Amino acid sequence: MSRLVLGLDMDGVILDNTVSKIRVARDLGFNISPNEAQSDVIEGVLPKEVIDVLRERIYGDTALNLVSPLVKGAQQGLAKIRSLGLECFLISRRRNPAIARAALIKNRLWPDYFNEANSFFVEHAEDKNIKAKELNIGAYLDDQPSVLEKLNDVPNRFLMDRFDNFGGLTFDHIRVNSWDNFLSHIL
């Protein structure tokens, strides 16, 4: 039997941008809660023009990126995955890989867990599916249902739902609320 190959999103799965999103939204004149800061939810809360500015500031500003901590349990989860010898890939839609790498370096994940060989930056959700298929990803963890819906070639899709935003919805993937919960499904 072949070993499971894992795919991971970065923002909302490894890096926690919640506080930064709340601060930037406030600077732009909007008050949002942590659950409203989730990437799919925020689109129903803030006007598109504001979301565009917020995303540019969050993901395009190195200083703002460097204050984003890891999602609780991410470091331990990655260590567990590595200790078991599971192959793991980062597939992110970050437009500026250099800023993404800086955040991973700051959080001591680059190059120990992620590096040029196992980290990929794509433009669209559909591109994540193409890369996942190419890498033979058997399980993928993302915090956006809208992205997971596009990963048709990944047999096991997991939704990181840390704020219980999607509890009442039915999906073709498994909802998890923490890294421990995710690991309990794949190990």
Question: Given this model, what pLDDT does residue 144 score?
Answer: 95
Q: How confident is the model at residue 2 (pLDDT cuts 50, 70, 90)?
A: low
Residues 6+ apart with CB under 8 A from 5: 86, 87, 88, 89, 135, 136, 137, 138, 139
Q: Class of the 5-16+69-186 domain?
A: alpha beta
Quick check: 57 and 24 in contact, CB under 8 A? yes
Instruction: Please give the Cα distance from 47 to 81 (Å, whole number).
Output: 39
DSSP-assigned letter for residue 166: S
Q: How far is CA 53 from CA 22, 32, 61, 71, 179, in A?
A: 13, 15, 11, 23, 30
Question: Given this model, what pLDDT does residue 111 score?
Answer: 95
Q: Which segments of the chain belong to CATH 3.40.50.1000? A: 5-16+69-186
Beta strands in 72-121 (DSSP E): 87-92, 119-121
Tens of pLDDT, residue by residue over 50-68, are 999 999 999 988 888 888 9
Quick check: 13 and 74 in contact, CB under 8 A? yes
Quick check: 59 and 96 in contact, CB under 8 A? yes
Tens of pLDDT, residue by residue over 91-139, are 999 989 999 999 999 999 999 999 999 999 999 999 999 999 999 999 9
Is the pTM of the predicted complex or chain greater than 0.85? yes
| Biggest distance spanned by C-alpha atoms of the chain | 54
